[in-house]
Every structure is written in structure tokens, then in C-alpha cells.
Structure 1
């Protein structure tokens, strides 16, 4: 009897992972660099990773039958890195644990292209989409951390000015001393970088609450005019254009380095040194624009989105003051796609008062359908550059916003 034999089933070849369209080997390395710390890989191990991957063919990451592989021995990698082979072994273990390499060696640990043994990178290539998502999360957290540090810097400047005025007005009462003591316990600006996002969120919220409490004490003083009360130039019987045009603010110096002694010294550093701009006593929490225009008038010039943030601040404080506008401006930045470094530059070059108004003006123009602004961040940087030439006219821009608001819809 004839017995037929089943033919062996041919197993399909494993699909070699390749990089997605548009990504090359160097871009892949940069991606791994961005997420390495979140994977538990230190800087030294990443240098070893880069050394190994540099010995591969870039084309192997995109096409070809072979998976990208480093055939260098540990001693060869150690020579290139200038470290011991023992350190390279430790780095390889770390990279294997993180899922960045697959180590396939011969029994004696040797690596050879002829025997298909070495350090393979397919495991990491297969995780590119995961790494891209992780990088987005890391970047979002980094931006959130920077925004919170900026908010804390604003709280510090404002609270320092408020405390100075409280001490002058009321002396070191028990409540003022309590607020001062809590303020002095705040971590230094550089310490904020070492905080986790959650720790910084909690500290920023506590800092804002303390600043609001101190501002409440100041506004309850019987001889303290509220910043959101209308000034004499804002009688509702006046034409709004006259209100703005006749404002006593010196428009020639708007946006230029002020000659007033109320403004503190400029910082000697970049954005990370913003807390050096604490301002003189009694000035860091005030705005010459709000005092002269009134917060209600300024609120009316804001976009609906900015007004939403101001409404939230009004709920917290029961009023709108300079601090409200500064915080609302900073919270509007990410929605406009403006990096926090642009705000830091604006505060450093102008002052917090003018920087807030530059954001307000930029935001209002972005919301205006008759105005085309390709990049809100670029527009704000343009205002900073214009200030450097001495030709920035913030009051003129506010008048323009007021005129547009008065046009029939």
C-alpha cells in the first residue's frame, strides 16, 4: 500500500523590523536619546549605544535582508570609548534590560559577521512607535514643568512686592510675619528644576494661594485703591477711544526701558534667572497700564480665550489685578503655540508689565479674522525685536485693538 508523505511546511521568513518612512539611522538614535532616561538608561550607556550603532550600515535600518548589527568585540568598543571592557559589559546589560539591543554571541562570547553573532538593534527598531509616543509625553511634561516654573517666578516677584508694601503699611503683624515666613521657605529657583512635575504643581498652587492671601490683605487696607476700580479717566460717559488716547501713560516710553525708579534692576541672566527680577518694594505687583486704564477696560480688549483665563483668576481672587493678567497671559502661551522661553525673553528684555501686554496684543490679533499671523511666537518675538530698536508702541497697539472692538459687527 502506498503511503503518501506530507511535504514539510515552509515557514515564512521573519519580517525584519525597519524604520518608518522619513526616519534614518541618525534620527532613530536621536529618538532613543530622547527617551533613554525614561527607560532607565544612563548617559554613559547611551554613549556606548551610539558607538555600537555607528558601526552599522545606515541602509540596514531601511532595507536589505540583514538586521542591523554591531560585530565589534567588547574590547574594541572599550577602546573607542576610552573605558574598560568591564564597563562595556555593564552598559550592554543595561541596554538589554531596557529593550534597546539583543545580544547574540557564540559560546565563548565572540561576535562575528560570518556566524551571525553580535549586538542586534531590531528590538529597538520594532519599538519606534512606542518611543515616539513616549517622547511626546516627555516633551509635554517638560513644557508643563517650564510653564510651572515661570508661574512660580511670577508669584515670587509679586509676593515680594506685596510683602514689602504690607510691612511698610502695617508693620510685622502676626499675619504678615506668617506669610513672610512661608515665603522665605520657598525653594530657590534652581531647586525647582529638580522637582517632579507633581511636586512642582503642588508647590505652584500653594505659592499662588499665598500670593492671593497677601494681596487680599493689601486690598483690605482702607487707604489702598483697588487696581480694578475705574480711574477718573474711565468714567463710562467718556468715549472709549478718548479714554485710551488721553491716557496719561507716556507713550514715548512704552515698551522702552523705563526711567522710573519703581521698576527693579534688569536681570544679569537669561530666562532661568527671571527670579532675579524681583523689582523694588511695592512695584513688582503693580501695573502702570492697569492703574491708568483699569482692569475692566483691559479685560475688554482681550480675546475670548484670554478672558476665560481671566474669569478663572477673578473667581480665585474676587477681582482682577496685575497678577491675574500675568498668570492668564502665561497660561495662554501654550494654547498659542508660544514656547515659554519667548515669555522669559520678553520679561527679561522689557518687564513683566509690558510682556503681559505684548502677549495680550498678540493673542487678540491672532483671534482677529482680519489679521493673518502665521506664528504667534514669531509675532511676539518681533515685538521684542521692535522694542530693542526703541520703536515698540504698546499704547498704540492697545488703541488699535480698542478701535477694532468698536467697529460694528
Structure 2
């Protein structure tokens, strides 16, 4: 048998990994589905140790007739596939003049070229995965832009539709590709589209702010960013004493409490049933600058990498970019945006991320915790305000 002393799979890789990689990147090698099927079957019929042993030549010794019968094709079709693999430098044909293969003489289809270039195929697979992951992130970010655009449009008064600038923006918005066609754009075009979408959102919001008589507020029927609605402003302060020990408790210990933190005798509790709103004095906690101070260093760096200004939209984009590092599935983010609004979802991500290093009860599974917060919100038990307050106390602000 011929040996190639320099040929070896990367450490820890086996024949099974070769088959898995070929199955995944076969289309990128211009292999049809049938060709991928044949190639993986041929590889699977070689010796396992020849792939793991340095210098050994993985070889297929079976006859074309026998293998063709196993693959439910003619010998001619199998021969065509083998020649195609040889042209692509996947295998080397080392047979007798009549095409015969013999294990005793080492004659057969040698997969040494594939073994030699497997490291390059691994790099191609990793690159493909990175592109796929980035496209998935961009599609999710486009959904954020789409929601932002619809919220801005909901703020437009009927007479504003007659404005030329507004009409121009809406025409460009109508030209956005559908969500189910984003993947077909490719990475570069999708990157450009998401960037243009952000600019269009900013353009419409700026137009709305400058329109005469514009209140810059969404319609009353439009969903609030957070679950507490601040349209009413009862001036009720809590008359209960403050539990000093709460400063040392984990910030997310209040996730499942929907009411104020005071006892039953607290006047704030008495008023809550009637008002259903948060204390107006706590509104400052939801300012972007305040949230930025409470965020983790990773969150802050992510925001600064995207924007030089600390705005609500920058906070939302930063929360979106933190999903992958935190291991939060995009479906959970979309669900949070649908239930809590984009700002509410951002607050959830920010609090979960900030509490990963909690000295007593760190958040170890942010993805699961976010879904738990969504379920708590559906039950009416989520207290984002209390969570932010707890984080503020732990930060010492």
C-alpha cells in the first residue's frame, strides 16, 4: 500500500467528521445531492483507522457493480460520479487497466487527496457557518428596524401623509424586501439593506419631530414600550419604611413581583389597584444614560461599537447584538418584543446580562431566564421597575 507520511486529519477528527463535513458543504463544492450521497457512502466503506492514522491512505476496494447495486444505480452512473470526484481532486483512481480493484495489492479509489485537504474543508465549513449566523443576526435586526418603522408610521397624523418628505420615505419603505426573501439577498446586500433601513427609520423620526403640530407620541391604541402605562400620574409615595437589607439581595429577585415592594400598609399598594401605573419618580430609571451606567461592560462596549450616542434605539440595537453572546435564541427575543415592546425586551436583556456576575445568585442561563420573564409578564407578575431598582442599588447609584 502507498503511504503519504505528511497526510493526517486534524487532531481528534475521524471518518465520521469527514462524512459530516462533506454532507454540510457539498453544495459549496458544486456537488449535487446525488453526488454527496454517493461520496459519503464510498467514504463510509473505507477503513476507519486509515483516516486517523497519519500517512495511511483511505481506500475503497469494492467493485463498481456491487456498490452500484447497493446505491440503486447503474455501474455507469457510479463510474460517472467517481470520475467527477477525481476531477475535483477528492479521490485518486489507482486501479488495474481493466478498472479492477484489489485489497491485496492496495488498488482502489484512494481518498488521500480528500484527507490532505480536509483542514481547508473545515475552514470552509466554519466560514459558511459564520456567514449563516451573520445572516440570521441581520434578519433579526431587520425585524427590529421593521417594528421601529411601523411604530413611527403609527405616530403620523393623517394630514402628514400629504407631506412630500413623508411620502418619499414611505415609498422607500414599501420597497423593502419581504422578510421571507432576506436570505436570498446574500450577506453583502443584506448588510447594506439593514444599514439603509436604520437610516430610513432615523429620517422618518426626524421628519415627525419637525412636522407642525406633531405630538411625537404614538396613537392611544398603539402598544406601549413597557408593560406599565404612564398616561396617569398619581402622586402617591410609599409611607413604608425601607428594608435596608434589600440592597444586598440579587436584582432579579423581584422579577416575579408585579406590585410595589412595600408591605400591605403601604399607600402605594392601596393606589396600585386603581392606577395600574408606575411611580412617576421612577421614570428617570428608563433614560438611556441611566441604563447605560447600569449595563455591564460588555453591553456598554457593544453599544459604543454601534453608536457614538446613547439613545433608546442604540440601547435596543446593543441588546440585539448581545443575544448571541448571551446564548439567547432569536425566537425568545422576538417573543419578548411582541409581549413587552422593544424597550421592555431591551430592559430584560440588560438586567439579565448585568446580573451574570451577581455575587449571590448569578444568571447562568439568560435565554431560559428571558423566557421565564415573558411567562411572568403574561401572568402579570413581571416587575421590571423593581429589577432596575435592584440593579441600581447594587451598582451604588
TM-score by length of 2: 0.72
Q: Using the alignment, how far apart are the partners of 2:357 and 2:124 within structure 1? A: 32
CA RMSD in angstroms comes to 3.7
Give unmatched runs, 5+ long, in structure 1.
Answer: 1-11, 234-240, 242-249, 255-288
Residues 92-119 of structure 1, C-alpha deviations (whole Å, 9 max, x = no match): 3443344332222222223332342222
Q: 3-state DSSP class of the match of 2:156?
A: helix
1:25 equivalent in structure 2? 15
From 181, 188, 191, give the equivalent of 1:191.
181
Residue 62 of structure 2 is aligned with which of 72, 85, 107?
72
Is the Cα–Cα contact under 8 Å of residues 142 and 197 in structure 2 kept in the other structure?
A: yes
Which is worse superposed, 116-125 or 143-152?
116-125
CA contact (8 A) 1:101 1:119 kept: yes
Q: Deviations over 1:57-92 (max 9, x none)?
A: 323322498522222333433333333444433433
User: Do structure 1's residue 224 and structure 2's residue 230 form an aligned pair?
Assistant: no
Displacement after TM superposition at 1:127 (Å): 2.4
Deviation at residue 188 of structure 1 after TM alignment: 1.0
1:109 is aligned to: 99
Distance in 2 between residues matched to 1:60 and 1:122, nearest whole Å? 10
- Give 2:114's aligned residue: 124
Q: For residues 395 and 368 of structure 1, what CA distance do their matches in structure 2 show?
A: 18
The aligned counterpart of 2:279 is none
Give 1:366's match in structure 2, choosing from 350, 356, 378.
Answer: 356
1:241-274 CA-partner distances (Å, limit 9, x unpaired): 9xxxxxxxx97399xxxxxxxxxxxxxxxxxxxx
Aligned to 1:334: 324
Q: Which residue of 2 aligns with 1:402?
A: 392
Distance in 2 separating the partners of 1:145 and 1:13:
43
Count the aligned residue pairs: 342
Structure 1 pair 47–208 and aligned structure 2 pair: CA distance change class (3 A): same
Secondary structure, in 3 states, of the residue corresponding to 2:311? coil
Q: Summarize the alignment of residues 338-353 of structure 1 with structure 2, pairs less than 5 Å apart.
A: 338=328, 340-344=330-334, 346-347=336-337, 351-353=341-343
1:371 to partner: Cα distance? 5.7
Contact residue 40 and residue 98 of structure 1 kept, 8 A: no
Match of 1:179 among 163, 169, 176: 169
Asked if residue 45 in structure 1 is aligned to residue 25 in structure 2, the reply is: no
> Equivalences for 1:263-282 in 2 at 5 Å?
none
Partner of 2:292 in structure 1?
299
Give the conservation status (yes or no) of the 8 Å contact 1:101–1:121: yes
Alpha-carbon distance between aligned partners in 2 of 1:349 and 1:91, rounded to the nearest angstrom: 53
Counterpart Cα distance in 2 of 1:290 and 1:87: 72
Equivalent-residue separation in structure 2 for 1:308 and 1:218 (angstroms): 30
Contact in 1 for aligned 2:285/2:388 (Cα 8 Å): no
Q: Report SS of the residue matched to 2:103.
A: coil
* Residue 168 of structure 1 pairs with residue 158 of structure 2: yes
Deviations for 1:327-377, whole angstroms, at most 9, x for unmatched residues? 121122334454545534544676544332221112212355666444544
Indicate conservation of the 8 Å contact 1:105/1:117, yes or no: yes
In structure 2, do the counterparts of structure 1 residues 218 and 96 end up closer, same or farther at CA, with 3 Å as the change threshold? farther
Separation (CA, whole Å) in 2 of partners of 1:94 and 1:382: 53
Secondary structure, counterpart of 2:104 in structure 1: coil
Contact 1:60–1:68 (CA<8 Å) still a contact in 2?
A: yes
Once residues 338 and 66 of structure 2 are traced to their aligned partners in structure 1, the CA distance between those partners, rounded to angstroms, is: 50
